[in-house]
Amino acid sequence: MLRRFLAITAITLAFGACKADTEPANDTSVGQDTVAVDTTTGDDTVTPADGVPDTADAIEPDDIAPAETTPTDVVENDVIATTACAGPDDCQHCTWTKHVATASDCYCPICPVSITTVADCAERQAEWTDVCTTWANENPCPVAICLQKAPPLCDDTQTCVADIYGCRDDRECMRCVQNVAPTKPEDCKCSTCGTPMTQVQCDDITAAVEEHCLGLLDDCPDPSCAPPPDPTCGPDDNRCH
């Protein structure tokens, strides 16, 4: 009887040990199985076996070369070259205001508003006639009434300039009580009976007197002047006389 009991006990123990080796341990945690979630921000980073992240393909903002830009072409204003003048006879008011090379440059020559040398004006006229005659036939130019101007002058730099004190007719002439524009107090002089000149020139002289002679001419006597004749504009020199 004892032997039978020992045998049954040995078989039971052996069977229990075999079952433990073949079955997995039971999950004794409470609730469902939990799977770990990756909570890192951004793209997953793959680290190579050597443990050093691969940054060979990384592009930093400073490494990006800016786009190559081409400066915009600067279009300069059309500068009309004029030849040098030697005297007033070399200057004139020109109806042809610019040089032309193609039909796209053509324009209507209406009034003599451009101050040039005589030679340069003739060159412009020849260019316009050669390039723009057909264009003018297709684009009739208006007819205008042009005002007469005082002939231009040739200044000290051999450049043709407007004669700002020249007259066009008698209506532009007057008598100015000051005949010289002072540049310093020593130039100040008492007024006279009046010198013929244009209103523009008299205004400039008066402004210079007010600037340099304020208070210096208060004791000047009034000039005794007989009524002078009305000034006239000389047809040959465009000056008031």
Q: pLDDT tens digits for 178-225? A: 999 999 999 999 999 999 999 999 999 999 999 999 999 999 998 888
Tell me what pLDDT residue 148 has. 83
Tell me the pTM.
Answer: 0.56
Task: Give residue 11's identity as a one-letter amino acid code.
Answer: I
Tell me what pLDDT residue 186 has. 95
Burial class (CB in 10 A: 0-12, 13-18, 19+), 197: buried
pLDDT greater than 90 at residue 8 = no
Task: Give residue 237's identity as a one-letter amino acid code.
Answer: D
pLDDT greater than 80 at residue 13 = no
Kindly indicate the confidence band of residue 165, based on its pLDDT and cuts at 50, 70 and 90: very high
